[in-house]
Amino acid sequence: MANVEVDCPHCGGRINLGTNASGTFDCPLCNEQFEWNSDAPSFLDIFSELGFWIGSLAPFLLACLGIVLGLIIDEGDGWTALGWFLVSVVVWPVVSLAIGIYAYVTARMPLMIGGLVSLAVSGGLHLLFWTWIAIRGF
């Protein structure tokens, strides 16, 4: 990581704050205090953001929809369930990655983390579904 260099809001002098700097600092040039990056959210604050839930639930619900349709419409031969599963496998990563890329470009960190969480959770869900199909004797 690169060092953070800022201008003191009081004297205008250039100050090196180190890496990952945030909080209250004393200017070594004028001895005045100033805050830098103090409004950065904590890790747990991300879960209270609406963007996190939108990013995580939208792709996850699409993945669930494909699995539920596969279970409901299954005609006993397993091919319909497998078809819906494959549609779900294609849709959820595309939606999750699209949300993640959009969030990265627009600097919406909670939305990006939500999309990545959804990608991981949906992957586990699909792995369980594939195991269920294999046990069922497809």
Specify whether the CB–CB gap between 4 and 22 falls below 8 A: no
Dist. CA 2–CA 37, nearest whole Å:
15
pTM: 0.55
Helix (H) or strand (E) holding 17: strand 14-18
Dist. CA 56–CA 120, nearest whole Å:
10
pLDDT in tens for each of the 138 residues of the chain? 567 788 888 888 888 877 767 778 888 888 888 877 765 556 667 777 888 999 988 888 887 887 787 778 766 677 777 787 788 778 888 888 899 899 989 888 888 989 888 888 877 877 887 788 788 865
